[in-house]
Amino acid sequence: DLLVVGSANADLVIRVDHRPAAGETVLGSDLATHPGGKGANQAVAAARLGARTALLARVGDDPYGRLLLDTQRASGVDTDAVLTDDGPTGVALITVDRSGENSIVVSPGANAQLSARDVRAAEPLLAAAKVVSVQLEIPLDTVAAAVRTAAAAGTRVVLNPSPPASLPADVLVACDPLVANEHEAKLLLRRLPDGPPGAPESWAEGLLALGPRSVVVTLGAAGALAADRTGMVRVPGVPVEAVDTTGAGDAFTGALAWRLGAGDDLEAAVRYAVRVGAAAVTRAGAQESYPTAAEVTGR
Ligand code: ADP
């Protein structure tokens, strides 16, 4: 029912006292290796909630690629459309300092090889899905091909513009919704991070003016805002003890895409996704922190 088209990365994490400056060497913790990448995260989030989910992605024929495939399958994601590349699996080198701030270098690896041709070859999958969910950690041509192919087949498109990049007008118009956090919303609206703040409602208006059928702006602990041409609603956050917000946005978007495909209206889907995002921040890690449906309805 849900097809995620996107990235799969191994997240390599080392904790340090302070992050090294240019030319500096620091000693850190043992290396922790976690499955990650926005596409892989969204697929696991949805599958763990009970969604019938498939992933279209590329990994390398190496241990990180196998780790990613194994965790997708263990979560119940259909990986038949995950292609294996000659080059290395994508990795994110992450250092986290004592205050929890991170610095990240991403090497796209196999993600950079996921092509418009791969998307066209998977056209039957895109057409059969209720919703296709896309993010921008794969080439923009591939994103555009996925959105256009899905839209032509009448499949609903959910798009998270992360990392932010400018998109062709027809791609933006097909998004229903465009899902952005505050940072992404500001960049898409070309507002400087420290520019005049404005209320999130004005960002949602601005994003709607870019053409998508609907917009969701996630607001961290404050929840999310859902907007379309008929109106706007603010969904408050669920108060929780936040331990680690890594991958919360991906859990939110995976859950949202699934609920929309299952027939929820935008507000109902956002209410559910806000609870999934809140559950995801109460535990460490990204995919490891994602809740089951019972954990979401139980809170
Ligand atoms: P991103 O992870 O992309 O930066 P947000 O920080 O907006 O996105 O978080 C996405 C969603 O996760 C929020 O809409 C909310 O549902 C949930 N969330 C994030 N941080 C918290 C928090 N501290 N407390 C409760 N929920 C949170």
CATH number of 2-297: 3.40.1190.20
Hey, what are 104's tokens?
């990240």
Among 98-102, 145-149, 151-155, 213-217, the range scoring the smallest mean pLDDT is 98-102
pLDDT in tens, 267-279: 999 999 999 999 9
Is the pLDDT assigned to residue 137 strictly greater than 70?
A: yes
Q: Whose CA is nearest to atom 17 of ligand 1?
A: 277
pLDDT for residue 165: 93
pLDDT band at 254 (very low <50, low <70, confident <90, very high): very high
Round to whole Å and give the CA distance between 36 and 247: 8
Pocket residue to mutate for ligand 1, from 104, 162, 179, 181, most atoms within 8 A of Cβ: 181
Q: Atom 8, ligand 1: which residue's CA is nearest?
A: 249
9 annotated to bind ligand:
yes
136 confidence band (pLDDT: 50, 70, 90): very high
Cβ-contact 96, 22 below 8 angstroms: no
Closest-CA residue, ligand 1 atom 1, reads 249
Is a pLDDT exceeding 80 seen at residue 133?
Answer: yes
Q: Is 181 annotated as a binding residue?
A: yes
Residue with the nearest Cα to atom 11 of ligand 1? Answer: 277
For residue 291 the two structure tokens come to 């809740």
pTM assigned to the model: 0.95
Q: Closest Cα partner for 262 from 251, 246, 273, 249?
A: 273
Q: How far apart are CA 222 and CA 213, in angstroms?
A: 24
Instruction: Mean pLDDT check: name the lowest of 146-150, 176-180, 256-260, 294-298.
Output: 294-298
Question: Domain extents for the chain?
Answer: 2-297
Res 199: pLDDT: 87
- With 90 as the cut, is the pLDDT of residue 90 above it? yes
Q: Give the distance, in angstroms, between the CA of residue 66 and the centroid of all CA atoms in the same chain.
A: 21
Q: Find the mean pLDDT for residues 88-102.
A: 91
**Residue type at 275 in one-letter notation:** R
Ligand 1 centroid to residue 281 C-alpha, Å: 7
What pLDDT was estimated at residue 119? 98
> What pLDDT score was predicted for residue 100?
80
* Whole-number percent of the chain with pLDDT over 90: 87
Q: For the residues 242-254, what does the mean pLDDT come to?
A: 93
* pLDDT value at residue 191: 67
Q: What is the mean pLDDT of residues 11-29?
A: 94
What is the per-residue pLDDT for 128? 98
pLDDT at 251 over 90: yes
Whole-number Å distance between alpha carbons of 240 and 221: 8
Task: Report the distance separating Cα 175 and Cα 147, nearest Å.
Answer: 8
Q: Is the dihedral of CA 131, 135, 138, 144 positive or negative?
A: positive
Q: Provide residues with CB under 6 Å of ligand 1.
A: 181, 218-221, 223-224, 237-238, 240, 242, 245, 248-249, 252, 274, 277-278, 281
Strands 9-15 and 32-36: antiparallel
C-alpha span between 215 and 266 (Å, rounded): 9
Q: What is the mean pLDDT of residues 257-261?
A: 98
- What's the pLDDT band for 140 if we cut at 50, 70, 90? very high
Nearest to 130 by CA among 4, 297, 291: 4
Longest dimension (CA), the chain: 55
How far is Cα 227 from Cα 44, in angstroms, rounded to an integer?
Answer: 26
Higher confidence at residue 111 or residue 192? 111
pLDDT value at residue 66:
98
Quick: pLDDT tens for 164-206. 998 999 999 999 999 999 999 988 988 666 555 678 999 999 9
Annotated catalytic residues are 250
> How is 52-68 classified by DSSP, letter by letter?
-EEEEEEEESSHHHHHH
The string of pLDDT tens digits covering residues 195-246 is 556 789 999 999 999 999 999 999 999 999 999 999 999 999 999 999 888 8
